[in-house]
Amino acid sequence: MIEILNATELARARTTGALVADILQALKARSTVGTNLLEIDRWTREMIDGAGAQSCYVDYAPSFGSGPFGHHVCTGVNDAVLHGRPHDYALADGDLLTLDLAVLQGGVAADAAISFVVGDSRPAQSVALIEATERALSAGIAAARPGARTGDVSHAIGSVLTGAGYRVNTQFGGHGIGSTMHQDPHVANDGRPGRGYRLRPGLLLALEPWVMADTDELTTDADGWTLRSATGCRTAHSEHTVAITEDGAEVLTLPTAGAAAG
Distance of CA 169 to the CA centre of its chain: 15
Of 204, 218, 211, which is closest to residue 252 (Cα–Cα)? 204
What is the average per-residue pLDDT within 134-160? 98
Does residue 122 register a pLDDT over 70?
Answer: yes
State pTM to two decimals.
0.96
What is the average per-residue pLDDT within 62-69? 87
Q: SS3 for 129?
A: helix
Q: pLDDT (tens digit, 9 = 90+) per residue, 148-192? A: 999 999 999 999 999 999 999 999 999 999 999 999 999 999 999
E-strand spans in the chain? 54-55, 74-77, 80-82, 96-105, 108-117, 174-176, 183-187, 204-207, 210-212, 218-220, 227-229, 235-237, 240-244, 249-251
The top-level CATH class assigned to 7-251 is: alpha beta
pLDDT above 70: percentage of residues in the chain:
98
pLDDT at 262: 39
